Chain A
């Protein structure tokens, strides 16, 4: 179900309030929690003046009262999904809200920087050269507010390895505050070409850490073109080697589009020969956001057109015993023998289904669409009809 996670969303109702951003956890009812100083009370309308001690108050609808405590804000309806345990960054002067963490979600990710040393032609989160020195501190604070039972969380950007030792600090905080959480870092790996960073990360001994590293070809000229940076291929592979030297788990991610699909079989062979020790390979469909949207004509290709290349690549990887998956592809766009490799990979907050999916027999198994896929869809989108045999199996 698609959600908005950030943007304009708050309007101050109280006479006074903070003129700097702050990080808080959502609470929806009064409690004796000593953490009120770090929480924002979320209520339908503000009637009772006696709820003291909260850092801020969010109301869904303005009430009759005029006596709002400081830092009382009206919450935009787009954020009505917020609930206990969610963690927010509120920026009152800009009237914006940023949902950093939803307790009920399996798709939480910390955006640690918007800077990046790559510039991928299909980047869904185009880099910005913003000064983000304060971001890590805010995230460290947010981590301390998250549910200790959190099962998985991501670190993304921009390029997280640009943070250097602050990245180590973040992962250490996750290890301490969210001990059950599997951590997935999306990185181009280049920062790990220096062995010190890989060594520091390995030394943390995080119990469940995986680094997802994009690699778009067996050849440097192809990869460097896609990421628009000469020398990126060399550094990325060196980074992968260093990460493995320090016993960290690495996943390779290959985004399939018009500029990369032809190299899929050669890529798979290259991985089999040279990077057989990686822990997973994900072959991914395009998300039509950011630069991908801007470069749509150059990048878009109907998945049915690369079925042969995809099949060949999976055959090589699977045959070599490399765990592999297909992400972001609807089952009806894939040859049936590849369905077992498809995963429900799209983050909940940008995930949707279409009319054909309503009666589709494979809906439960299928990951559906990106919201942004409205722009371009495969001509093979259709519902699967349960065959007689399948129906009988269900009855039995």
Chain B
């Protein structure tokens, strides 16, 4: 018999490894399956509080948390990519939309 996992699970995350923006975005993405409440404890640490919908058992909860961390890794990578490329994106779009002499196919 599996019982609903009603408890909240807490975990601590090192903010020097995972940006706060990455945490928030990962939480946003998994919101339908897990509720993650983020609290910043100090400069280096954030506390995550996981809650699960009714009917999810312990295995299900573990799977959802695993999925959250997977997403967090991706989000952290995305933040890094954004850091390196956002100025280039602006440059490219600026050129795209300031260009009055188009290269046209006749």
Binding site for B on A (CB under 8 A): 241, 244-245, 247, 249, 276-279
Most A Cβ at <10 Å: residue of B101, B103, B104, B105 = B103
Instruction: Say whether B101 contacts A277, CB under 8 Å.
Output: no
A276 touches B105 (CB 8 A): yes
Map CB proximity to A onto B78-106 as digits: 1 under 8 Å, 0 otherwise. Answer: 00000000000000000000000111111
Are A247 and B106 in contact, with the CB atoms below 8 A? yes
Chain A residue contacts of B102, Cβ below 8 A = 245
Q: How many inter-chain contacts with C-beta < 8 Å in the A-B complex?
A: 16
Main secondary structure of the interface of B (DSSP, over half): loop
For B103, the closest partner residue in chain A by CB is A244
Minimum Cβ distance to chain A for residue B75 (Å): 29
Please indicate which of the listed interface residues A241, A249, A277, A278 has the most CB atoms of chain B within 10 Å of its own CB: A277
- Top-4 shortest CB links A-B: A277-B105, A244-B103, A245-B101, A245-B103
A278 / chain B contacts, CB cutoff of 8 Å: 105
Instruction: Say yes or no: A279 contacts B103, CB within 8 Å.
Output: no
Classify the secondary structure of A's interface with B: loop
Across-interface contacts of B104 in A (CB, < 8 A): 244, 247, 277
* CB pair A241 B103 closer than 8 Å: yes
Q: Could you give 12 example pairs across A and B, Cβ below 8 Å?
A: A241-B103, A244-B103, A244-B104, A245-B103, A247-B104, A247-B106, A249-B106, A276-B105, A277-B105, A277-B106, A278-B105, A279-B106
Q: Given A247-B104, A278-B105, A279-B106, list of 9 further CB < 8 A pairs?
A: A244-B103, A244-B104, A245-B101, A245-B102, A245-B103, A247-B106, A249-B106, A277-B103, A277-B105
State A65–B50 Cα separation when bound (angstroms): 113
When C-beta atoms are compared, the residue in chain A nearest to B105 turns out to be A277
**Closest residue of chain A to B99, judged by CB?**
A245
Please give, as numbers and ranges, the residues of chain B lying within 8 Å of A244 by CB-CB distance.
103-104
Q: Residues of B contacting A245 with CB < 8 Å?
A: 101-103
Docked pose: A244 CA to B41 CA in angstroms: 59
Chain A residues within an 8 Å CB radius of B103 = 241, 244-245, 277
A241–B103 CA distance with the chains assembled, in angstroms: 7
Q: Kindly provide the distance from the CB of B98 to the nearest chain A CB, expressed in whole angstroms.
A: 14
- Determine the distance from Cα of A76 to Cα of B100 in the docked complex, in whole angstroms: 59
Residues on the A chain within 8 Å of B105, using CB:
276-278
CA distance A247 to B106 in the complex (A): 8
State the CA gap A278–B106 with chains docked (Å): 9
Instruction: Determine how close the nearest CB of chain B comes to the CB of A259; give it in whole angstroms.
Output: 29
Q: Which of A244, A249, A278, A279 has the most CB of B within 10 A?
A: A244
- Alpha-carbon gap, A245 to B102, bound state (A): 6
A279 surroundings in chain B (CB, below 8 A): 106
Question: Residue on B with the closest CB to A242?
Answer: B103
CA distance A277 to B106 in the complex (A): 7
Please give me the residue from chain A that is nearest to B101 by CB atom.
Answer: A245
Chain B residues, Cβ within 8 Å of A241:
103
How many angstroms from the CA of A249 to the CA of B105 in the assembled complex?
9
List B11-67 residues whose CB lies under 8 Å from chain A: none
Cα distance, A396 to B32, chains bound together (Å): 73
Roughly how many angstroms separate A279 CA and B103 CA in the complex, as a whole number?
A: 12
In whole angstroms, how far apart are the Cα atoms of A279 and B106 in the complex? 8
The answer for the CA separation of A247 and B101 in the assembled complex, in Å, is 10
> Which residue of chain A has the shortest Cβ distance to B104 in the bound complex?
A277
A249 vs B103: C-alpha distance in the bound complex, in angstroms?
11
Name the A residues within 8 Å of B101 (CB-CB).
245
Smallest Cβ distance from A246 to chain B, in angstroms? 9
Q: How far is the CA of A241 from the CA of B101 in the complex (A)?
A: 11
- Give Cα A163–Cα B106 distance, bound, in whole angstroms: 28
Tell me how far the C-beta of B104 lies from the nearest C-beta in chain A, rounded to whole angstroms: 6
Q: How far is the CA of A279 from the CA of B104 in the complex (A)?
A: 11
Chain B residue numbers with a CB within 8 Å of A277 are 103-106
Q: State in angstroms the CA–CA spacing of A276 and B103 once bound together.
A: 10
Q: Which residue in chain B gives the minimum CB-CB distance to A246? A: B101
Docked complex Cα distance between A249 and B101 (Å): 16
How far is it, in angstroms, between the C-alpha of A247 and the C-alpha of B105 when the chains are bound? Answer: 9
Q: How far is the CB of A213 from chain B (nearest CB, A)?
A: 14
Residues of B contacting A247 with CB < 8 Å?
104, 106
Q: Report B84 CB to chain A, min CB distance, Å.
A: 21
CB distance from B101 to the nearest CB of A (A): 5
